[in-house]
Amino acid sequence: MNVIRQRLEKVLSEMDRTLEQPMDVAAFADIAAYSRFHFQRLFSAFLGTSVSEYRRLLLFKRAGHQLAFRLETSVTEIAYDAGYENLESFTRAFKRIFGQSPTEFRSAPDWAIWHQTYLSLTELKEQIMPAEKFDLDSVRIVEFPVTDVASLEHRGAQVDLPDTVQKFISWRKAHGMPPSKSATFNILYDDPKETDPAEFRFDICCAVSDEVTENDFGVVSKSIPEGRCAVIRHVGSLDFAEGKIRALYRDWLPQSGEEPRDFPLFVQRLTFFPDVLEHEAETDIYLPLC
Q: Quick one: 104 and 146 in the same domain? A: no
Side by side, the strands of the sheet bearing 265-269 are: 140-144, 227-235, 282-288, 265-269, 184-188, 201-207, 147-155, 220-224
For residues 93, 95, 97, 100, the Cα torsion angle rounded to the nearest 10 degrees is: 160
Per mean pLDDT, which range of 100-109, 133-142, 156-165 is the poorest? 133-142
Q: Residue 201 has what pLDDT?
A: 95
Q: Are residues 142 and 82 in the same domain?
A: no
Q: Model's pTM, two decimal places?
A: 0.89
Residue 221: the pLDDT is 97
Q: Which long-range contacts (CB under 8 A, 24 or more apart) does 189-196 make?
A: 189/264, 191/242, 192/158, 193/242
Last residue of a domain, one of 112, 128, 144: 128
Is residue 164 domain-shared with residue 100, that is, in the same domain?
no
**Which pLDDT score is estimated for 123?**
80
In a shared domain, residues 153 and 280: yes
Domain count along the chain? 2
Quote the domain boundaries for residue 6.
2-128
Q: Model confidence over 87-122: pLDDT tens digits?
A: 999 999 999 999 999 999 999 999 999 988 988 888
Q: Which of 128, 162, 181 is the last residue of a domain?
A: 128
Instruction: Assess whether pLDDT exceeds 60 at residue 285.
Output: yes
Task: With residue 82 as reference, give the H or E element that holds it.
Answer: none
Quick: pLDDT tens for 7-33.
999 999 999 999 989 899 999 999 999
Same domain membership, residue 257 and residue 207: yes
pLDDT digits (tens, 9 = 90+) for 222-271: 999 999 999 999 998 888 888 889 899 999 999 999 999 999 999 999 99
CB 219 within 8 A of CB 270: no
Give the CATH number for residue 212.
3.20.80.10
**Residue 153 β-bridge partners:** 203
Q: Is the confidence at residue 127, as pLDDT, over 80? A: no
pLDDT higher than threshold 60 for residue 150: yes
Domain final residue, candidates 128, 151, 183 = 128
Mean pLDDT of 41-65: 93
Pair 152, 272 in one domain = yes
What is the per-residue pLDDT across 208-226, written as a single tens digit (0 to 9) for each? 999 999 999 999 999 999 9
Reply yes or no on whether the pLDDT at 131 is more than 80.
no
